[in-house]
Amino acid sequence: MKAAIYTFGCKQNYAESSSLARSLEERGYTIVPFGEPADVIVLNTCSVTESADRECRKILNRARRIAPHARIVVTGCYAQLQPYEIASFDGVDIVIGNSEKNTLADVLSEALSRNEYPFVVHAGDIRTQQLEFVPAVFSEHDSRTRAFLKLQDGCDYSCSFCTIPRARGKSRSMNFSEIEHHVRRLTEAGYREIVLTGINLGEYRAPTGERLIDVLRLLVSLRLDCRYRLSSVEPNRMHPEMIDFIAEHPTICPHFHLPLQSGSPAVLRAMRRRYKRELYAERVLYIKQRIPSACIGADVLVGFPGESEADFAETYRFIEQLPLSYLHVFTYSERERTEAAQRSDQVPYRIRKERTRRLRELGEQKKAAFYRENINTYRKVLVESYDEGVGGFVGYTENYCRVVLPAAPQGEIVEVLVDGIAGQYLLARVRSEVQTEPRYFALPILA
Share of residues in the chain with pLDDT > 70 (%)? 94
pLDDT at res. 15: 87
Residue 122 has pLDDT above 70, yes or no: no
Share of residues in the chain with pLDDT > 90 (%)? 70
Residue 162 and residue 338 in contact, taking contact as beta carbons nearer than 8 Å: yes
Question: 403 forms bridges with which residues in the sheet?
Answer: 395, 426
Residues of the chain within CATH 3.40.50.12160 domain(s) are 2-124
Determine the Cα–Cα distance for residues 344 and 334; give it in Å rounded to an integer: 12
Q: What is the pLDDT of residues 397-430, one digit of tens each?
A: 999 999 999 999 999 999 999 999 998 999 999 9
Residues of the chain within CATH 3.80.30.20 domain(s) are 137-372
Residue 125 has pLDDT above 60, yes or no: yes
Q: 378-446: CATH homologous superfamily? A: Nucleic acid-binding proteins (2.40.50.140)
**Would you list the DSSP string of 293-351?**
T-EEEEEEEE--TT--HHHHHHHHHHHHHS---EEEEEE----TT-TGGG-S-PPPHHH
Please report, as a single letter, which amino acid is at residue 9. Answer: G
Output the average pLDDT for the chain.
91
Determine the Cα–Cα distance for residues 127 and 136; give it in Å rounded to an integer: 21
pLDDT at res. 189: 92
pLDDT at res. 134: 85
Residues of the chain within CATH 2.40.50.140 domain(s) are 378-446
**Would you list the DSSP string of 190-221?**
T--EEEEEETTGGG-B-TTS-BHHHHHHHHHH
Residue 179, CA distances (Å) to 15, 102, 306, 392, 407 in order: 16, 20, 44, 35, 35
CB atoms within 10 A of CB 51: 12
Closest of 35, 38, 28 to residue 3, by C-alpha: 38
CATH code of the domain made up of 2-124: 3.40.50.12160
Is the bond leading into 118 cis (omega within 30 degrees of zero)? yes
Closest of 139, 159, 155 to residue 147, by C-alpha: 139
Determine the Cα–Cα distance for residues 359 and 355; give it in Å rounded to an integer: 6
Least confident window among 86-95, 189-198, 349-358: 86-95
Q: What is the pLDDT of residues 44-87, one digit of tens each?
A: 998 766 676 788 888 999 998 989 989 999 999 988 888 888 88
Please report, as a single letter, which amino acid is at residue 372. Answer: R
pLDDT at res. 305: 98
CATH code of the domain made up of 137-372: 3.80.30.20
At 200, give phi and psi (nearest 5°). -140, 75
Question: In this structure, are strands 378-387 and 413-422 parallel, antiparallel, or unpaired?
Answer: antiparallel
Residue 442 has pLDDT above 60, yes or no: no
Q: What is the mean pLDDT of residues 369-394?
A: 95
Residue 216 has pLDDT above 90, yes or no: yes
Q: What is the mean pLDDT of residues 202-216?
A: 98
Residue 447 has pLDDT above 70, yes or no: no
Cα-Cα end-to-end distance for the chain: 45
Task: Indicate the pLDDT class of residue 434, thresholds 50, 70 and 90.
Answer: low
